[in-house]
Amino acid sequence: MLLKAANRFQNFKMFIWVMLSLWTITVGGLLYRNTLNIKNHTRERLNHDATISLQIENALRAWGTSHGGVYVEIDEKTPPNPNLAHIPERDITTLSGKKLTLMNPAYINRQFNEQHFIKLGIIGHLTSLKPFRPENNPDPWESKALKILEEDRKEFREISKINGDQYLRLITPLIIKKPCLKCHGGQGYKEGDLRGGTSISIPMEPYLKDEREEIFSQRVSFISLWFWGLIIMWLALQGLAKKIKERDDAQEELKSYHDQLEKIVEERTRKLTEVNVKMGEVSANHEQTARKYEEQSKFLQNILDSLTHPFYVIDANDFTIKLANKALNLENSGPNPTCYQVTHNSDSPCNGADHPCSIMEVKKTKKPAVAEHIHYSHDGQRQFHEVHAYPIFDQDGKVSQVIEYSLDITQRKEVEKALEKAKIAAESASRTKSEFIANLSHEIRTPMNGIMGMTDLLLSSEASPEKQRQYLGLIQTSSYRLLDTINDILDFSKMEAGKVKLIDVPFDLHRLIKELIRLSEIEADKKGLSLDHKIESGIPEHLTGDPGRLRQVLTNLLHNSIKFTEIGGVQLTVKKLRELRGGEGRESIELIFTVQDTGIGISPENQTMIFDSFTQADGSMTRAHDGIGLGLSIAAKLCAMMGGEIWVESDPGKGSSFHFNAIFNRYKNPASESLPTTPDQVELSILLISDNINSRQDLTTILQKRTRNLKVTESGPEGLAAMGKQLFDLVMLDNHKTDDNAFEIAEKIQQQNEINTRPTIIMLTSYGERGDAARCRELGITAYLSRPFIEAEIFEAIKKSIAGKDNSTGNLPITKHSIREQQPSIRILLVEDDYVNRILIEKVLEKQGWKIIKAENGVEALAAYENNPFDLILMDIQMPKMDGFEATRAIRKKEKETGRHVPIIALTAHVLEEDRQKCREAGMDDHIGKPIRINVLRETVEKHLT
């Protein structure tokens, strides 16, 4: 014990010396740092005072120099300067009689130094290499400084001794300025030379004295601080030593108590051992009983744990779980968990539709109960559980505990839900199927009834030609309606089977849009609707993509808008959405197409379903406007295949806007396509009057190719006003069903012009009516041309109209038919195995004035080709002996020998784009789908012949 105390004393002593050393080093370091700061501060003060003093003297000299000196009254202290005797005006007398003398800058500085600096012990001196006064000669230090200033004209300072005392000496250069030459010009100086310097010498003793006093004061303060720190440290260590001693005494006393306690425990342990020996015999029987109970408990627990669903026993009063298997997972539940905490993560007993309390139910009825609970897993998934509860009764017959087990019926619920959905879907599908079949039956039987009924009526009656024309028109309408239904069914079937694929071929977007508008315009004209189109500037003409599918979508939207619009019009707009860049340098463009109408509109609740299969806005609309509800569904699928989507914006009663976007590739080599040669110019002044924007644009494009003097107006009054200002050789009137009747305008033209100034008039029309020819003859209209407008036919009509203006022998106006009759004979080879189709095509083409040679299969076609030259070949695809593909390849092979190319147009019922691609691969130039529409046949043939 004494040894430990001695060791503690030695350690404490070492600690005291360490603390004293650290304190002394700290105080000494601070004193040293403060001493250095004081000395640095003294040097800074000295340099600052020297600089300020010199700046004052230089400023005073600069002031005197800037004024060329100053005149002061002569007295003892300021006698005339002998060095300025060469200046005539050195001394002057004022009007009042005062005598004044001129003080130059050096004189001013010298007097300032004598009156002010000398009192402060500061020596100010003007020195010069060529002084006027001997007193201004430099001392040795100033001579050294002036040499340094000759090289670096800034300043020079140094600590030096004067008469044994230390001074801080500072000198700045004196540079000759222009005013200085007044006094010093005679010494040979010029402006900018170094004349001398201004020096200041400040005694250092006053500053060093202040420094010594401040250092002494700091030392006294730090020594006091060190001394009082020692006292405080000693007192603190004394207190610490006292506490250490008290702690040691307490530990000694505690050790004594510990020894006594060990003796007491040892005695009691001996007595307890004796008691335990006696109790051993008694507890052996209890251990055996407890072991059997534990084995039975483990056996029961293993049985419960083997169950995959939760099984537990709950206290009916406080809802605590008394027994549970592993499936319930009570690891993180804490002591005395309740059933509602574990199973529902709730702070109160269950009460509600999602969690009915089966324990309360069992306690109330004393009968087993079954309930369904909704649980949520950790990841938020909803689970369904079926909870079975059974009562356990106490001695009084009350329910004390409840046995529960829970079955996860989530999967069963999902199956039930899926079955319910499947049932609803099946019923809906069955209902949709029944509606579709009924609708399809109606759409097929109705036009079939029209075709068969009108045919029977036509065959069984002796109707007038006008009635016959009416019956045939109804047959044609029913046929087109039946064809549209069949095409929709075939397209939808192909799409459902995944057999529709888009192609990527070059096409002219602007031409495609104009052709669509031209074809749809006839239908719009019949209803008195306007049909306009607008293509945003900057959209390229030449793209690559699937023009057939684009045409199909636009045709469907235009047809729907015209069908559901009774007043107003329809407009097609094409805008650029964005530019895209892909791999391998491919450039794409995303376009947005909009078809806007002023029709009946679509209600908001029906806008989400019109793109579903077999659906229109509602059943009554389907019946009112015909159709099987596949058109928009097909359009939606095609838009998705073209990289876009389709949507509608509509206001019931005001109209609808259908939009879709699609992505196309830019065609990088449009120049390689064959372009039409520039035709001969027509030297005529032409006035075009057209109130239809599409016709006006088409006709303007055609006419501008051959004439430079074209005037275009949008109405009859505007055209008549133009004729009042200018004479025209030719007026072209576009006849539409609008407020301005073209024949009335023609009559006004004839009335307001003399016979010798009347222009030639050509009538253009989208439709022909009985009596038009007679009306043309009556009004002197020389030509009457109907759509489609073919460039060659228009200029041929112009040529013949101008040439035959004064020829009164002709009784009929010039028409397309008369133009074609006078054209050189066109020879066309028609290869078709169906007799009805041969007759139809032959009659249609013969009306154009063309000669038709027929063949029934590919073998006959090859023989005819080898024996006769043809301008064009119409080739059916599926034929006996040799089909159209094989025949076309054989013809193309022979053409390689002759170097002549004959256009071959396919005739086929296969109208999908992949079928068109097969035709192109076989060497065919174009494709006409069956059933054949006369206008499509005629326009396609004319396109390749021109």
CATH assignment of the domain containing 465:
1.10.287.130
DSSP 584: G
Among the candidates 483, 500, 517, a domain finishes at 500
Strand partners, 688: 712, 732
- Tokens 């007295």, located at residue: 75
Of 77, 506, 8, 518, residue with least CA distance to 240: 8
Rounded Cα distance, 116 and 130, in Å: 26
Q: Look up residue 871 and give its DSSP letter.
A: S
User: How do residues 871-911 score in pLDDT, each as one tens digit?
Assistant: 999 999 988 889 999 999 999 999 988 888 999 999 887 76
Separation of alpha carbons 327 and 307, rounded Å = 7
Is residue 173 helix, strand or coil?
strand
Q: Are 796 and 815 in contact (CB under 8 A)?
A: no
Range list of β-strands (E), 297-434: 311-315, 321-324, 369-376, 382-393, 399-408
Neighbour count for residue 740 (Cβ, 10 Å): 19
Let me know whether 48 and 171 are in one domain.
yes
- As given in the structure block, the two tokens for residue 375 are 């649980």
Residue 439 burial by CB count (10 A; 0-12/13-18/19+): exposed, middle or buried? Answer: buried
The CATH number for 873's domain is: 3.40.50.2300
* Residue 731 resides in a domain: yes
In whole angstroms, give the CA distance from residue 202 to residue 200: 6
Of the residues 500, 522, 543, which one is the last residue of a structural domain?
A: 500
Residue position matching structure tokens 């013969």? 846
The residue among 672, 707, 731 that closes a domain is: 672
| Least confident interval from 707-721, 789-803, 828-842 | 789-803
Tokens 């579709």 correspond to: 436
8 Å CB contact between 682 and 706: yes
Q: Give yes or no for a cis peptide into 931 (omega within 30° of 0).
A: yes
Q: Are strands 709-713 and 505-508 parallel, antiparallel or unpaired?
A: unpaired
804 occurs within a structural domain: yes
At 232-257, the pLDDT tens digits run: 888 887 777 777 777 777 778 777 87
For position 654, which CATH number holds?
Answer: 3.30.565.10
Residues near 885 by beta carbon (within 8 Å), at least 6 away in sequence: 877, 918, 919, 922
Q: Which of 599, 533, 522, 523 is nearest to 567 (CA)?
A: 599
pLDDT at residue 615 above 50? yes
* pLDDT tens profile 262-302: 888 888 788 777 777 777 766 666 777 777 777 777 777 77
Q: Positive or negative CA dihedral for 591, 597, 600, 604?
A: positive
Q: What local confidence, expressed as pLDDT, does residue 818 receive?
A: 63
> How confident is residue 673, by pLDDT bands cut at 50, 70 and 90?
very low
Residues 615 and 707 in one domain: no
Q: Which of 449, 632, 499, 470 is nearest to 910 (CA)?
A: 499
In Å, what is the CA distance from 241 to each residue of 15, 124, 166, 286, 568?
11, 69, 57, 61, 111
Q: How far apart are alpha carbons 280 and 912 in whole angstroms?
A: 102
Query: pLDDT (tens digit, 9 = 90+) per residue, 473-524?
Result: 777 776 766 777 777 777 777 776 677 788 888 888 988 888 888 778 878 8
> How many C-beta atoms surround the C-beta of residue 657 within 10 A?
16
Higher pLDDT among residues 616 and 474, named by residue:
474
CA distance 375 to 386: 11
Nearby residues of 403 by Cβ (< 8 Å), 6 or more positions away: 311, 312, 313, 389, 390, 391, 392
Report the pLDDT value the prediction gives residue 457, as an integer from 0 to 100.
61
Residue 879, C-beta contacts closer than 8 angstroms, at least 6 positions apart: 831, 832, 833, 856, 857, 858
Q: What is the pLDDT of residue 858?
A: 92
- Cα separations (Å) of 294 from 291, 328, 437, 583, 837? 5, 22, 75, 76, 100
CA 754 to chain centre: 66
* More confident of the two residues 891 and 191: 891
Task: Give the list of residues 6+ apart from residue 27 with CB closer than 8 angstroms, or none.
Answer: 222, 225, 226, 229
Q: Which residues pair with 662 in a beta bridge?
A: 591
Handedness of CA 144, 148, 153, 157 (dihedral sign): negative
What average pLDDT does this structure show over 342-357?
67
- The Cα–Cα gap between 705 and 729 comes to 17
Beta bridge partners of 543: 507, 666
- 751 and 744 in contact (C-beta within 8 Å)? no
User: Rounded mean pLDDT of the chain?
Assistant: 79
Asked if the model's pLDDT at residue 597 lies above 90, the reply is yes
Give the model confidence (pLDDT) of 158-173 as tens digits: 888 888 888 888 888 8
Two structure tokens written together for 211: 């420094």
Q: How far apart are CA 861 and CA 205, in angstroms?
A: 134
Please tell me whether residues 447 and 523 are part of one structural domain: no
Per the model's pLDDT, the better-predicted residue between 446 and 679 turns out to be: 446
Domain assignment of residue 106, yes or no: yes
Lowest average pLDDT, out of 428-437, 751-760, 766-775, 828-837, goes to 428-437
Rounded CA-CA distance 753/727 in Å is 10
Q: What number is the average pLDDT over the span 75-102?
A: 81
43: left (phi > 0), else alpha (psi -120 to 50), else beta? alpha
Cβ atoms of 883 and 861 closer than 8 Å: no
Helix (H, G, I), strand (E, B) or coil at 748: helix
Q: How confident is the model at residue 660 (pLDDT cuts 50, 70, 90)?
A: very high
Q: Residues 492, 507: one domain?
A: no
Per-residue pLDDT band at 442 (split at 50, 70, 90): low
Opening angle at CA 292, ends 286 and 296, nearest 5 = 140
Measured over the CA atoms of residue 820, residue 824, residue 827 and residue 828, the dihedral's sign is negative
783 pLDDT exceeds 70?
yes
For the segment 66-70, the average pLDDT, to the nearest whole number, is 78
Both 513 and 643 in one domain: the answer is yes
In a domain, 513, yes or no: yes
Q: Do the Cβ atoms of 96 and 80 come closer than 8 Å? A: no
Question: Does residue 761 fall inside a structural domain?
Answer: yes
Residue 580 confidence (pLDDT): 85
Per-residue pLDDT at 574: 95
Q: Are residues 790 and 726 in the same domain?
A: yes
Per-residue pLDDT, 767: 64
Domain boundaries, position 783:
685-814
Does residue 760 surpass a pLDDT of 80?
Answer: yes
| Residue range 74-101: mean pLDDT, rounded | 81
Would strands 685-689 and 646-651 be described as parallel, antiparallel, or unpaired?
unpaired
Residues 796 and 935 in one domain: no
Please indicate, yes or no, whether residues 490 and 509 belong to a single structural domain of this protein. Answer: no
Nearest in space to 662 (alpha carbons), one of 635, 641, 648, 644: 644
| Spatial separation of the C-alpha atoms in residues 124 and 57, rounded to whole Å | 8
Per-residue pLDDT tens for 106-134? 777 777 776 666 666 788 788 887 777 77
Rounded CA-CA distance 176/189 in Å is 7
In a domain, 888, yes or no: yes
* C-alpha separations of 516 from 552, 558, 654 in Å: 10, 9, 25
Mean pLDDT of 170-189: 78
**Dist. CA 782–CA 181, nearest whole Å:** 111
- The DSSP-derived string for 51-68 is HHHHHHHHHHHHHHHHTT
Residue (of 344, 338, 347, 402) closest to 373 by Cα position: 344
- CA gap 875, 908 in Å, rounded: 9
Looking at the structure, do residues 537 and 647 belong to the same domain, yes or no? yes
Which one, of 931, 833, 829, lies nearest residue 878 by Cα?
Answer: 833
Q: What φ, ψ does residue 581 adopt, rounded to 5°?
A: -125, 130
User: Residues 809, 765: one domain?
Assistant: yes
What is d(CA 665, CA 587) in angstroms, rounded to the nearest whole number? 6
Number of helical (H) and strand (E) elements in the chain, helices listed first: 25, 29
In the chain, the number of structural domains is: 6
pTM of the model: 0.43
Among 810, 740, 752, residue whose Cα is nearest residue 781: 810
- 819 part of a folded domain: no
**Helices 884-898 + 913-922 axis angle, to 10:** 40
C-beta of residue 904 within 8 angstroms of C-beta of residue 891: yes
The span from the CA of 691 to the CA of 753, in Å, is: 23
- Tokens 């006769």 belong to residue: 868
Sheet holding 872-876, edge to edge: 851-855, 827-831, 872-876, 904-908, 926-929
The reply to whether 611 and 707 lie within a common domain is no
Q: Tell me, yes or no, whether 889 and 791 share the same domain.
A: no
Distance CA 876, CA 857 (A): 8
Q: Check which CATH number belongs to the domain holding 328 and give it.
A: 3.30.450.20
DSSP assignment string, 4-35 = HHHHHHHHHHHHHHHHHHHHHHHHHHHHHHHH
Residue 213 lies in a domain: no
Please enumerate in sequence order all residues whose Cβ is within 8 A of that of 60, keeping only pairs 6 or more positions apart, or say none: 105, 108, 109, 112
Cis bond before residue 788 (omega within 30° of 0): yes
pLDDT at 342 over 80: no
